[in-house]
Amino acid sequence: MQVIGLCRFSYPGIGGFQVEHENLQARIDYLYAPKRLEDRFRTFETITLPPLRAQTDPDFTLLIVIGESLPKPWHDRLADLVADMPQVVIQSHAPGRHRPVMQAAINSIRQFDKQPCLQFRMDDDDAVACSYVERLREAAQDVRKLSRKHRYLAIDFNQGFIASPGPAGLRATPTTTPYTTAALAVMLKPSEKRTIMNFAHAKVAQNMPTVTFSGQDMLIRGHNDFNDSRQKPGVRPVDLLPLSPADEDHFRAIYNIDADHIRRVFSAP
């Protein structure tokens, strides 16, 4: 089964944000602000990419969607970061309606063979466990009989952490919230043209059968001042605690995330 992960890297789409901007240029200015992009790149380098590089099943595609207007120095920096990852495809797109653009981008790399397609989505500060692709394929086989009766089916790994990197390393707290990106996947029939981006992740259970797997750390949900979901008033704060040495060992073993690497990167000018 083909496995596709989608990461929207500061793509200035129309829609797709919980907080609206006055116009498209205001959105572009916000997304491409140097301070914000520097933070996103450091998080992407230290949190998102390490476990993807260390997948126990390396047979997957990571589609990174960026805007055509992303300034060249940032575009080149992104290309350099993933140059050693044959799984990565970078696509540049003009601003457009968010969901149709993402649907077309995903379908442009789909094989549309006789096998279901497994798709997951992640922001540029999220992560999955090193065993994620392997476990996702195993879970898909477990629910294969059920999937034949439905156009799409959600496979939800709900256990992991909310985490924030910084000069002191990682601060984190456990989470078991269902239908959390990035370890939520959708299994689609071979001929199905819809994609994971046609469904709001928190509402997948309203649109399809879902199967949730717990008991194994599988995701990291990034937490920082630039999270779109934290820009609205009244957002509940999340209490994050510094990792102990044992916790740091756990993150290194499960996610290939090195707290010393985080400290070096986030302490740099």
**Below-50 pLDDT ranges, the chain:** 228-231
CB of 173 closer than 8 Å to CB of 240 = yes
pLDDT digits (tens, 9 = 90+) for 209-229: 999 999 999 999 999 765 544
What is the value of pTM for the model shown? 0.93
Q: What is the pLDDT of residue 47?
A: 98
Q: What is the pLDDT of residue 224?
A: 77
CB of 129 closer than 8 Å to CB of 33 = no
Q: What is the pLDDT of residue 7?
A: 98
N residues, the chain: 269
Count of CB atoms situated within 10 Å of the CB of 178: 17
Residues 6+ apart with CB under 8 A from 8: 16, 65, 102, 121, 123, 124
Instruction: Let me know if domain 2-267 sits in CATH 3.90.550.
Output: yes
Percentage above 70 pLDDT, the chain = 93
pLDDT digits (tens, 9 = 90+) for 17-45: 556 667 889 999 999 999 999 999 999 99
Tokens for 52, please give them: 């993807």
